[in-house]
Structure 1
Amino acid sequence: MRKLLLGSISLAAALSLNAAVFATVNGEEITEKDIAVLMQAMPNQTSFDALPEQAQEQIINQAIERRLLTAQAKKEGIEKDPEYKEALAEVKNEIALEVWMKRIFEKAEIKEDGIREFYDKNADSFIQPARVKARHILLKSEEDANAIIKELKGVKGGALKEKFIALAKEKSTGPSAQNGGDLGWFAKGQMVESFSDAAFAMEPGEVSKTPVKTQFGYHVVYSEDKESDQKVSYEKAKDQIVNVLKMEVFRDTISKKAAALRENANISIK
């Protein structure tokens, strides 16, 4: 069965990202472009959004360190180094190829009937796994977590959600604190096992009755919503299918161009 995820065109993909800002370093922004460079080293081309919150924080900190080290390298005159200049020339060639290939990918035209045919033939692949939408408050001790659970006891409905968000902003030690502990939607396996098990065992509108322990600390979890396995509609799957089909056209186009160029080139393999 054909893989349903768009293959990476490394740098070209990075160039097309909307530059959300994750941090600033000495006045310079750390954006999705910086994150994309680090994500290239992740196994199975994992997306940043699919990473657990703690792993996202580690990636952001790595991007910060890279920015600081890059500034220091320039300060020490690395740009005048002959080896740097030679490497820069090679990188320019790589960038030229990457951007040119990206343009070819973007020009690929996919017809509506081809998209629908792909969807119908691969219907079993378009299943969205069960997922939950949750918030959490990360604390250093079990005692602190129990205190939060006690404070939330008896509060229900919209008032519970509002109070949880306020406490997350005030008490949580995790990077999601500023967003009220929001973790968004996630499927099983996307979070640490103990955390995932607890979140999936809860019903929407509930707060965990006991702290959830992970290697990061103690979590108080609030379940916002829950969905079972369901088939992804054609409209929702359409963009993904277009990317898959465009990649097939792209690969075929590049293969033919490469073959034609080889035929007319003077090549000597030693």
Structure 2
Amino acid sequence: MSEDKIANNNKSSNSIDKNEEVMYSKSKQEGQIKSENKISIKKIKQIKSNNIIKIVAISLVGIMCLGVGFSYGKNVGRELPATAKKYRANKVFATVGDVSITGKQLQNRMEPLFYLQGKSKLTDEEISAYEYSMLDYMTTTEMLYLEAKSNDIEVSEDEIEEEYETTMSSISQSFGMAEDEYLKEFDLTEDYIKKDLEKELIAVKYMGKVTDVTEEEAKNYYDKNKDEFFEVRGSHILIKTTDDEGNELSDDEKAKRKEKAQKILKKAKAEEDFAALAKEYSEDTSSTNGGDLGFFKKGDMVESFENAIFSLEDNQIYDEIVETDYGYHIIKKTGEQYASFEDEKEDLISQLSYNKQNTLLDDLEAKYEIEIKE
């Protein structure tokens, strides 16, 4: 799903430049993030944080999901890890019910991260952020694993072996090390890694089982909440109030542009061809399509634009200029419909699964009394 979009152009042949889309759309960080159907613990905390604070999750043996990259070669990382920190082996850094996460466990995960940084030295604040994210990931895995075991979830030896081979292949690519080199470098064993992999696989299997959403569930939700899928189609003409770098124009220049927009609105209200006016005057890539923005739902537009267009009848032009942070808009509503279930099914299943995941994590955090110690 696009993070920023003004309209669902899958239902229209029209397309809008990505740089322009951001101008009108509300941030999907306001509760509309959709999770992927394929669940992994690496994404669980990102899902739960709603992308407002991005949680950086590191996989079991230290392969990072973020774009740090290892560009210096294995010898640089081995000889000169610019960042290093020792953790007291028996110190308790977090608890999940009666289970403690110790300094030794945290060390096993942080050292590969420091290695991958190569010459880049992390600040104390960055180290603290990574530690918290790591512990957040570890406690999430642990609580899901404990709940999974209480529900008799198991994985086979073959599944563990396959995951181990995949992990080691990734390590070889990311660290430039063979399996035995990696284990020696970070004082790990094959059994240790396999036990952690088993725990993660069981946790993921449980998460997938209890948060699965069927097509029937999605259809029931669609039928009971039809108004959520009402959408309108609209066109607009934009007169910008920002320069090419996105900086706001002076008050005098804005006043001139507003006057220009008012004149265009008069022409549109006088029943001049709206599409032709958009092609002639609109400072927006949609001008090539006569200002057409396709279909969109409530919540897809900035508030002032949305309030205007949803108040209109079909083929009606809004009586006033609508101002947003990007300029003055002349707005016309050109159609309305309910999005079909088939069009919405994939996103709806993802959204409902996300809701289940969020609820499950909240419930388990309370049940197991998760604590990350300072």
TM-score (norm 2): 0.33
Scaled by the length of structure 1, what TM-score is found?
A: 0.44
Q: When you count strand as a share of all residues, which structure comes out higher?
A: 1
Structure index of larger Rg = 2
